[in-house]
Amino acid sequence: MRRRHEEARDLDLVPIMNLVTILIPFLLFSAQFVSLAVIDSTLPAIATTDPPDPEALDLAIHITADGYTVSADKPLPLDERTVARTQASMTPSAFDGDRLSEILGRIKDAWPDEDTVILEPTPDIPYEVLIYTMDVASGRSGDRELFPSVAIAGGST
């Protein structure tokens, strides 16, 4: 019985090197074109060292499956504080952003220096509705700046 002596062949790494040579520039160039939208928001602080401002309005918008409810620590110049949902679906178009913008505009007229609003969504509110409400409250969807500093609080029940 004879043993065959075969010489060990070197691995051909040229195809793998070609692949890496092509992939690296492709990934670098494609990463440049990826962009994400960022909406500035603030979260309420767990503890504050400053005493609460007695002149603060503490405006809040409660977002529920029924619609919006606007509340504040001061009396608001409003006849109606609720904005009912206009459709049965839970999409942004089902929530009456124009009516909410009108209400927030009247509040802004009464307190022109106020720039903060707190959104309090219930857990069943979709993310798209929350973003839509942030846009309406800040005035991005209209022609007037309303409350540019939007904070998100834990959901109301």
pLDDT of 12: 87
Helix (H) / strand (E) element for 29: namely helix 14-32
Q: Which two tokens stand for residue 15?
A: 């195809």
Let me know: does 153 contact 120? Beta carbons within 8 Å: yes
The residue with tokens 């679906």 is 89
**In the prediction, which pLDDT does 91 show?**
83
Residue 17: predicted pLDDT: 93
CB 110: neighbour CB atoms within 10 A?
14
pLDDT average per 10 residues of sequence, the chain (157 residues) = 70 91 88 64 63 74 90 79 79 86 88 89 90 88 82 71
Number of alpha carbons in the 13 Å side-chain half-sphere of residue 25: 4
Please tell me the predicted confidence (pLDDT) of residue 9: 80
Distance CA 73, CA 78 (A): 14
Q: What is the pLDDT of residue 94?
A: 86
